[in-house]
Amino acid sequence: MPTSFTVVPVEAQGEERQRDGQQREEEDEGDERDRGTGDGIARESSPFINCAELGRGSMYEGKNMALFEEEMDSNPMVSSLLNKLANYTNLTQGVVEHEADEDSKRKEVKGPRMGTFIGVYLPCLQNILGVILFLRLTWIVGTAGVLESFIIVFMCCACTMLTAISMSAIATNGVVPAGGSYYMISRSLGPEFGGAVGLCFYLGTTFAGAMYILGTIEILLTYISPSAAIFKVADAGEETEAMLNNMRVYGTCIVILMAIVVFVGVKYVNKLALVFLACVILSIIAIYAGVIKTAFDPPDFPICLLGNRTLSKRSFDVCAKFTEINNETKTTPLWLLFCDSSLLNATCDDYFSLNNVTEIQGIPGIMSGVLTDNLWSAYSEKGSIVEKKDQPSVAGSEESKMSGLPYVFTDIMTYFTMLVGIYFPSVTGIMAGSNRSGDLKDAQKSIPTGTILAISTTSFIYLSCIVLFGACIEGVILRDKFGEAVNGNLVVGTLAWPSPWVIVIGSFFSTCGAGLQSLTGAPRLLQAIARDGIVPFIQIFGHGKANGEPTWALLLTVGICEIGILIASLDSVAPILSMFFLMCYMFVNLACAVQTLLRTPNWRPRFKYYHWTLSFVGMSLCLALMFICSWYYALIAMLIAGCIYKYIEYRGAEKEWGDGIRGLSLNAARYALLRVEDGPPHTKNWRPQLLVLLNLDNEQLVKHPRLLSFTSQLKAGKGLTIVGSVLQGIYLDKCTETHKAEENVKALMGVEKTKGFCQIVVSPNFRDGISYLIQSAGLGGMKHNTVLMAWPQSWKQAENRFSWKNFVDTVRETTSAQQALLVAKNIDLFPTNQERFTEGNIDVWWIVHDGGMLMLLPFLLRQHKVWRKCKMRIFTVAQMDDNSIQMKKDLQMFLYHLRLNAQVEVVEMFENDISAFTYEKTLMMEQRSQMLKQMQLSKNEREREAQLIHDKNTASRSAPAVEASVAAAVPEKVQMTWTKEKFVAEKHKNKDSNVSGFKDIFNMKPNQSNVRRMHTAVKLNGVVLNKSQHAQLVLLNMPGPPKNRKGDENYMEFLEVLTEGLDRVLLVRGSGREVITIYS
């Protein structure tokens, strides 16, 4: 990016300074164009570095910092850095990390900036003190008893407190933008974990909103205005269905109303929150006041018992079988419920006839000693009658029909783990503040303080209420979920002072407020995940209104919330919510523990009251609670999170957030590398660890992409793969090209599904660069043992005269390094990963023993889909003195012990005379080689003579006085003054030398050693063509290069002859060690 600065003229030197400034600006722009991007080093994008709006004038003003002015293009002054840091905001873009602020150029959005009390404490308090406290806590105490209820609440509160401690440590370890819990998990455990847990937490928060709304409707239609029900009860037994339909209709209306309130703006939700919370606090105060009042004046709430069975007072008002009216005994409405007529001699229910009707106080008071009766649990089956312990009763006949009788029945089967699942959602509001971290003035301070204070407050309220409920209320009333025994009153309301309506109204507004908080936090959470771009199909939900409100996310949240409302059963959705929240809390604890144990330099939380053992205890407790609540729900929640994790891993954008899982991977990799023995592995553990040598063109693109296709087919994602290439030049000059080449290679590796590492080396010459890669690629015990490269097709061309030299030297170096070498000839004819061979053979020509490489490679290839249907054939060559039949039997037995299925064939190749064709081909090869050498020599001489003449002319013009001394230094063959005789003599001299040289070439005789080698290549090629011309792939032993380097070019010719006429050839040269074994 070209930079600019402002020049301010001062006094008389203004014009001159302005001209200097313009010149300096032009030079800077030119330098910037020459450099490309700074010094070519990829720097971390940050809101504090490379700031576009920083003026250059402040950088270059004065001469005190002139020493650093060349670095100011990329490194700003500290003064500008501090100014940017002080003005940094965490509000602007949801959860897109703050490093991307300057790149995205988003306009800062001004919004409400809340403190600890309003922004964190109140939302947490409203979400925690929600529907369960008022609607289910008394029932849990009555069913589980005071002791077990205390254990349930203590476990859940301990879990949330430990999670809050871990969350506080993470929240104070840097700026927390909007998205709160999701941001903390994703930046600590990586995008896969963050996205999976974040989406599960979003679903949990959304369904929690549905649960709060269902609680609101239950309070409205059960305790405030039963007559408001749209669906009336026509027949006995239809109460449940009518109630569910009413909740669906009213719930839909309320969720739409709440969505409108949230859409208008978060500040209105906060204003309403104050009103709602005031009602909650008044309700709790009313409970404590009522408890105190029971000590000296208990309220009058009589309970009617038939024997030890509790009766519902919805159908009668007088708790007696008979009444005396004007000295006349008459039956009561209760009699008609159990008897077939109002007459005293009517036929009545057997149990009704045998037991008396008694009336006891439902709220005996804190001093009554009822606590001892309520200490122990009273679990029951579904449909059983709520009975009072230690109350005398006479059992009736078992055949008596109880349906339709005014007993108080249990609606669900109760047991300890089920109560844990129902209760846990009441403590799940601890993330309400962190979910709105983008709206906080100082999230690092507000989130820990507000959350821990809210948990402490609510934990005290819950634990004290358990003891007080058990000490004040009769057990049968506690187990009466809907207050049927007390005329349909809210059970906890019967304890309150001055009136039960205080609790009813307070609980109604409490659940409304909690629902609003859920509908406020959930869309922001989804918006944060969408803006991160890790889950492609939800990116549309990252958009919103101009002020940042997540409109589309709110619509989706309302839709999902409506699904929960249509379920319409508060007790059914509560355990599901527990799973999602517990999973989120578990990963918050895991994130804190991992970061603490890794001791990464960036882990510097301001909150100091944490320890990794607390995080592990919290994580273990969360996991235990998940399976205590419901093991199958826990498995389903883990399966959902696992599917989201794999989807993000497979389809999501790759992110580098410096997360703890990556740090853990680095530590594990370091530990594993130190454990791996720095030496050759055992034969049973040997597999080809490849160094793939690629050639790049002038645009830094790969010349032979199918070499990577073949690599992925050979490796199938296993073992080490290093893809390397060499750029010729100096690294300082080739830095940009190096990054471009690395990006191109990595992109192609992704397309070809080649899993491995890329390494680009810049070297003054190509030959040394290959040597550097062979020597230094890899780390410790994870080094390559095999080199894969393509055959240099253009080695015969004059413009590529060095390719064969580099190739032969590479062969020698791999041999010296004891590494195997694979050379793919005609690589562009090899199949892609999308092709499939439906038939054909992979032919192995085993000429010399190479440690078993030729046996192992076809087996590995046939693991891939491309080669799976190809059959393996092994050919070996028998000489004159060999027993070919015995060789075949031995080879079959060897393959049997190796557990390899292959067809075996022994080819007999007897000695015979060297043909004239072989002799002529060898002669032509040597003549060509000699001619090229002489042409190269004459070309070099001409270039050297022309350079000497140029130097002489330059010297004569610049220093005529030393012409004689320079002329004396020039060789005799260079003539500065030409005559006709000298010109003719020189011409004939050169012509005679050339003619004599070419006569020597045509009169030469071929070297006998070369003739024998050519004979072998020609004859072996004929045998291979006869057997394997139509094979899909031919694997051949690659002969080694000659010890005398003068024959390198002939070596290339031998290999050409050996593989002539074959489509796909893989030349294999072993490393000198065994790579396959018959032993287990």
Average pLDDT, 10 consecutive residues per value, the chain (1080 residues) = 41 46 48 41 39 43 50 55 50 37 42 76 78 88 94 94 90 68 72 80 86 89 85 68 86 91 76 79 90 88 88 84 82 86 83 88 88 90 85 71 77 88 86 71 84 93 93 90 84 87 86 82 84 81 76 90 85 83 88 83 82 94 91 87 82 58 68 68 74 89 90 76 91 90 91 89 90 86 87 72 77 88 91 89 86 84 89 84 82 83 82 56 59 54 57 52 41 46 54 49 59 78 87 88 73 83 89 69
β-pairing verdict for 1065-1069 and 841-846: unpaired
SS3 368: coil
Give the 3-state secondary structure of 657-696. Answer: CCCHHHHHHHHHHHHHHHHCCCCCCCHHHCCCCEEEEECE
pLDDT at 453 (0 to 100)? 94
**Residue whose C-alpha is closest to residue 475's, from 615, 303, 231:** 303
Kindly report the backbone phi and psi dihedral angles of residue 66, in degrees, each rounded to the nearest multiple of 5, phi listed first: -60, -30
C-alpha neighbours within 13 Å on the C-beta side of residue 1: 9
Task: Say if CB 181 and CB 124 are below 8 A apart.
Answer: no
pLDDT at 152 (0 to 100)? 94
Burial degree of 749 (CB within 10 A; 0-12, 13-18, 19+) = buried
Six token digits for residue 409: 């029945």
pLDDT at 109 (0 to 100)? 45
* Distance between CA atoms of residues 736 and 303, nearest Å: 86
Q: DSSP class of residue 1059?
A: T
Task: Say if CB 170 and CB 590 are below 8 A apart.
Answer: no
- Radius of gyration of the chain, Cα coordinates, nearest whole angstrom: 44
Long-range contacts, stretch 392-395, CB < 8 angstroms, 24+ apart? 392/307, 392/308, 393/307, 393/308, 393/309, 393/355, 394/307, 394/351, 394/354, 394/355, 395/351, 395/354
* Distance between CA atoms of residues 511 and 491, nearest Å: 17
Kindly report the backbone phi and psi dihedral angles of residue 911, in degrees, each rounded to the nearest multiple of 5, phi listed first: -70, 140
* Distance between CA atoms of residues 891 and 887, nearest Å: 6
Task: Say if CB 616 and CB 150 are below 8 A apart.
Answer: no
CA angle 165, 273, 570 (to 5 degrees): 75
Q: CA of 983: how far to CAs of 940, 946, 975, 986, in Å?
A: 21, 16, 9, 5
SS3 608: coil
Within 753-852, where are the H helices?
A: 766-776, 803-816
pLDDT at 985 (0 to 100)? 58
Please list, in sequence order, all residues whose beta carbon lies within 8 angstroms of the beta carbon of residue 406, skipping any fewer than 6 positions away: 311, 312, 314, 315, 316, 334, 337
* Distance between CA atoms of residues 583 and 633, nearest Å: 11
Six token digits for residue 336: 């008609």
Phi-psi sector, 619: left (phi>0), alpha (psi -120 to 50), beta:
alpha
pTM of the model: 0.66
Burial degree of 379 (CB within 10 A; 0-12, 13-18, 19+) = middle
**Residue whose C-alpha is closest to residue 40's, from 728, 736, 731:** 736
**Residue whose C-alpha is closest to residue 811's, from 1059, 1066, 1040:** 1040
Q: CA of 327: how far to CAs of 323, 324, 330, 332, 671, in Å?
A: 9, 6, 10, 15, 96
Please list, in sequence order, all residues whose beta carbon lies within 8 angstroms of the beta carbon of residue 1059, skipping any fewer than 6 positions away: 825, 1021, 1034, 1036, 1065, 1067
Q: Bridge partners of 907?
A: 877
SS3 762: strand
Q: Bridge partners of 322?
A: 331
**Residue whose C-alpha is closest to residue 373's, from 359, 391, 349, 355:** 391
Euclidean distance between the first and the last CA atom of the chain, given in angstroms as a whole number? 62
Please list, in sequence order, all residues whose beta carbon lies within 8 angstroms of the beta carbon of residue 407, skipping any fewer than 6 positions away: 306, 309, 310, 311, 312, 385, 386
Task: Say if CB 819 and CB 1073 are below 8 A apart.
Answer: no
Within 10 Å of residue 46's Cβ, how many Cβ atoms? 16
Q: DSSP class of residue 224?
A: I
* Distance between CA atoms of residues 573 and 565, nearest Å: 10
Cα 614 to chain centroid distance, Å, stands at 26
Cβ burial 722-738 (10 Å sphere, 16+ → b, else e): bbbbbbebeeeebbebb
CA angle 803, 805, 808 (to 5 degrees): 110
* Distance between CA atoms of residues 28 and 444, nearest Å: 42
Burial degree of 683 (CB within 10 A; 0-12, 13-18, 19+) = middle
Six token digits for residue 731: 């690294």
Q: Is the peptide bond before 550 cis (omega within 30 degrees of 0)?
A: no
* Distance between CA atoms of residues 1030 and 841, nearest Å: 8
Task: Say if CB 583 and CB 623 are below 8 A apart.
Answer: no
Overall residue count recorded for the chain in this entry: 1080
SS3 552: helix
Kindly report the backbone phi and psi dihedral angles of residue 339, in degrees, each rounded to the nearest multiple of 5, phi listed first: -120, 165
Cβ burial 146-165 (10 Å sphere, 16+ → b, else e): bebbbebbebbbbbbbbbbb
Burial degree of 336 (CB within 10 A; 0-12, 13-18, 19+) = middle
Q: DSSP class of residue 568?
A: -
CA angle 219, 220, 221 (to 5 degrees): 100
pLDDT at 928 (0 to 100)? 58
Q: CA of 644: how far to CAs of 178, 197, 199, 1029, in Å?
A: 22, 9, 8, 50
Within 473-536, where are the H helices?
A: 475-478, 491-495, 500-532
Tokens 């250059």 belong to which residue? 56
Six token digits for residue 958: 């610049």
